[in-house]
Each structure stands twice: as C-alpha cells, then as structure tokens.
Amino acid sequence: MVIVNTDSLLNQLKQQIQSKPFVLLQMYSDVKAHPQENRISCYWVDFQFEQYIVPIHHSERFQKDIPMIETEQTIYVDDLKKYRHNTLVFGKDIKDLNWCWYQQTNQPYDFEQHLTNAHHHQYRLHYDKQNINDIVPLVKHAEYFEPISKQLYERYEQHDQTILENLYQIERNGLKTYEKIVYSEYNPFTSTGRPSNRFGGMNFAALNKSDGSREQFISRFNNGVLVEMDFDAYHLRLIGEIVDYKFPKGSVHEHMGKLYGLPYEEAKALSFKYLYGGITDEVSNNPFFSKVNDYIKLLWQDYKANDFVKSYIYNRKVYRKNLKDMNPNKLFNYMIQLMETENNVKLLSDLIPKLQKYNSKLVLYNYDSFLFDFDTTDGLEFLSVVRQTIESDGKYPVKISKGVNYHEMQDITEKFKWKT
C-alpha cells in the first residue's frame, strides 16, 4: 500500500488512474453529515496488485489542495449515490459494487464490520465533534478499505443501476425548510426492494400528515409552491396489468365497489384487506380477485420449482435462499412492492431528463407519490409535462395537490383537468 505524500507519487497515481480500471473507496470527513454537505477525508485506489491511499482533508495530507482527477476508465465504487454527491476522481463509467452484492444476497454489504478499534475509539471519544475521520490514522483507514475492496470486487457482476442514478437525482435537489435545504438519503437495499428514505433522524418516507411535522417544508422559490402528484389505486392498477384485468376508465375503487355492492370508502378498505391480507372464499367469484388468486398460485409454484422468481419489469432474480419465512401471500406482497418500485424507476427515467430545462425540482418520491418544488414561472407547461409522463398517457391517473407548505396541501385535481 502506497501513501500518496509527495507530488511524484500523486503524478504516478494519476497515470495509473488514466490507464486501467480500479476500485475507488472514499472516506468522508464527517460520520454524521450528508454526503452532499460533506468532504473527502481520504480515498483508496485499488488496482488489484497495487493500492494507494490519498489524504485530502486528513491531518496527514502533504499539501493543502489535491487536484481532482478525470479518467475514461471504469471506476468501481462502494456507493454510487455518495460518489455522485461528492468525489475528486471523476469518471463516466461507474459501477456500484454494493449494488451487485445486494442483487446476489438481498442484503447490503456490512461495511461496519471492518471498522478498526481506532475508528471506534475516536467515534466514542469525539461523538459530538465534526470531521472525526480526519484524525483517524491513515493506516487504519487503509486497514478498513482493503478487505472491502477485495471482497466486493471479487463478487462483481453487471446489474442495472438505473434506480441508483434516479434516486441520486432526487437527493441532490434537497427539500427547503424555513431555515435551510435538508437532504434525504434513499436506501434501496431493503428486503422488498422498495427504498426507505431517512436521514438525520427524519423518516422522509413516513412524514406524519397530522402532527405538523410537514409544515417546515416549503418552496425555495419566491413565487413557488409545493405540488404533489399521488397515484390513484396504484397497486390495483399494477396488479391488473400482471393478471391481464382491464379496469374501466374512471375510479378503480368505484368499479370494485360495484363488484362488492359497497360504497367507495368501504370498497377501498376491502380491496386492500384482500390484497395484503389474503384472498378469502367470499371473493372467489370476484373477476379481479379470481385472476389475482390464480396468479398467486402460479407465482408460488414457480418460486418452489426454480428457487427464484423474476421481477416483472427488469427481470431481477429474487432467490429463495435470500428470503425468509415465505408463504404464497407474503411472496405476492413482496412482488407487488418490487413491481411498484421498478415501475417508478421506469417513470423516473422518462421524467428526470424532461425536468432539466425547468427551474422546478423533484424533491421527494414516496412509493405512490411525487413531490415537486414548483417555480410558477415554469408555467402550466411544466405541470402538464410532469403529469402526462407520470400518468403514462392515462395508465396511472394521479390526484394533484398544492400548498405553500407540505402540511397545508389542497386538492386541485378537478381544477387542473381542463388545463391538460
């Protein structure tokens, strides 16, 4: 391992970086700060037969300003989103090693197992201070990096990373509060593949609608408002696609209410009960749930016969060995959430490039809804583009609400219909 502590060693590393692929692991200075607001303490470059560690803001750095490096070579990183937020080694072809590990095991890699006693000591001693990693000895950071680089690279194989790129694009926009911009951090490494989203003690995926905690989120624009687009009966529509059930135009819950002989709210609650709690004999003749029941049985048969099931959109293999305590309905619920996530990834891939020419920003994605910080100077054109893209030409209708803050949101779906 080479500690880069002279100009000649730095130049040597630059030549290597520009000539062959490598693993890049970065240590951020502050263990608590979001990567968008953090800085690089040091980074590790592994060419398999030769390794370098480069101090940047670390106390052992040899010069004040270490320049950034660009390369056309493939860079293998441990966290693509963090890399996009903050790096000094720029490349076009970036591969996420941890994402590959997750695809194979259905678990994220355990990085903390490699923290040394020196790391734990400094974290305990200076728990209330910033930039603690800058004083952990470089050799201890190297001791942490080395096994991670080796283990992750050995297991690498290509997997689609679209979800990581899309989630980064949302994270980087942040959410405006009365005091500052705050950043969320999506975690796609969950058992069902549905991203959680929390940072700094705040669960952005489960912000309470009634206790006022949403009130702090406002628009960053002088003439801006928050606009939310929320799917109507999203899971029912997605499942309808899988089982080839054609819902009529209009409200899905009203349609199901006619099948049950019940009003809207009761029908909605009943559909969710059967969908997530299990289909009973009393709806065995319901044309929708009859098809769903057949699908659940077929899904379970494939799972047992092949020891894996494939996701509906991206054909991701979910292996039996990585799932615990499965039963037919639990597997079905798993696949619903996975399809929801993959369909949202697909929608985001269509949407995000279209947003680049506008000031308005996509600031939050929560399973079946999207929150935008809307600069009204972008006009109704922006909202029309967003709505048409998310609805996929009417396949997934949305309800639209707006507000001066995220707590006081008013439904404007009917008012907006004639404008699109």
The string of pLDDT tens digits covering residues 172-200 is: 999 999 999 999 999 999 988 899 999 99
Contacts of 83 (CB under 8 A, 6+ apart): 24, 26, 75, 77, 94
Tokens found for residue 244: 């080839």
pLDDT at residue 47, rounded to an integer: 97
Q: What percent of the chain has pLDDT over 90?
A: 85
At 42-62, the pLDDT tens digits run 999 999 999 999 999 999 998
Tokens found for residue 328: 């037919």
- Cα-flanking dihedrals φ and ψ of residue 140, to 5°? -75, -35
The CA distance from 118 to 202, in Å, is 29
Domains of the chain listed by start with CATH number? 2-159 (3.30.420), 165-232+345-417 (3.30.70.370)
Helix (H) or strand (E) holding 153: helix 138-154
What predicted TM-score, i.e. pTM, was given to this entire model?
0.94
Contacts of 61 (CB under 8 A, 6+ apart): 55
Give the single-character DSSP code of 325.
S
Confidence of residue 394 (pLDDT cuts 50, 70, 90): confident
Q: What are the Cα distances from residue 85, in Å, to 88, 164, 222?
A: 10, 12, 26
pLDDT at residue 191, rounded to an integer: 86
The CA distance from 348 to 186, in Å, is 14
Give the pLDDT mean for 121-127: 95
Give the pLDDT mean for 393-404: 93
Confidence of residue 417 (pLDDT cuts 50, 70, 90): low
| Average predicted confidence (pLDDT) for the chain | 94
pLDDT at residue 420, rounded to an integer: 43
Answer yes or no: are the C-beta atoms of 407 and 362 closer than 8 Å.
no
